[in-house]
Amino acid sequence: MATVHATRTAPTKPTRRRPARRRPSRANAARRRTTRSRARARRLRGFAIGGLIAAVAALLVMVPLRMAEPPSLCAADPASFPATGVAGWHGDQLENAATIVRTASALGFARDGQILGVMTAMGESSLHNIDYGDWETRGFTNPDGSRTTSIGLFQQQTWWGSVETRMDPAGAAGLFYAKLAKLDGWQSMPPTQAIHRVQVNTDRDYYAQFEDDATRVVDALSGECA
């Protein structure tokens, strides 16, 4: 008699039912919409502030550049010169520079020659028409031991000309340019070295420190006259 084996059936696991997804309440949805709106507003404000900062920065850069531009002045009209001056040179300094520029122009010297003249007077007398020189201020003497006799804008000694001529801004400038005109190739020399050849000072590079200021002053004094 055959034995009948009972078939064991694996127990069936109970099926877990996922909890139903809750729909957000209207209050929560409104809060999320408000949060997103605020975030967008903050981003927009950030962009706007960034653009404003960039614009202000550009303006701050442009304003000094415009202020740095030299004015356009008529060298023949000192009354129109600004009280603030040009490149830190003002009052009688600017008037003396204008006299040098006018004298140079009348003698046929263009912008490069005019700059040399103004550079020289800046270095020699700070553009003041003084009636004393290195002997009085520092006790300088000539190579032969005699006292120096330098006076005027260009600090010219006795052998340059009369006291009256050396103390006259236009006359002193004329003496300077007469000697510069005799210097062959001065246009191709570094400005300070060309001046050194005319003035015969001890340091040929001394006048280089005044080149930028002299250029700004000459350019400012090159405006058209009414």
What is the structure's pLDDT at 131? 95
First-to-last alpha carbon distance for the chain, in angstroms, is 142
The residue behind tokens 């929560």 is 28
The residue behind tokens 């330098």 is 150
Estimate the crossing angle of helix 111-125 against helix 211-220, to 10 degrees.
120
Instruction: Report the chain (226 residues): mean pLDDT per 10 consecutive residues.
Output: 48 55 61 70 65 55 50 89 95 98 98 98 98 85 88 97 98 98 98 97 96 98 88
Alpha-carbon distance values, 44 to 36, 39, 47, 54 (Å)? 12, 9, 5, 15
Nearest to 186 by CA among 98, 115, 101, 99: 115
Domain ranges of the chain: 78-220
pTM: 0.69
What is the structure's pLDDT at 44? 66
What is the structure's pLDDT at 55? 57
What is the structure's pLDDT at 118? 98
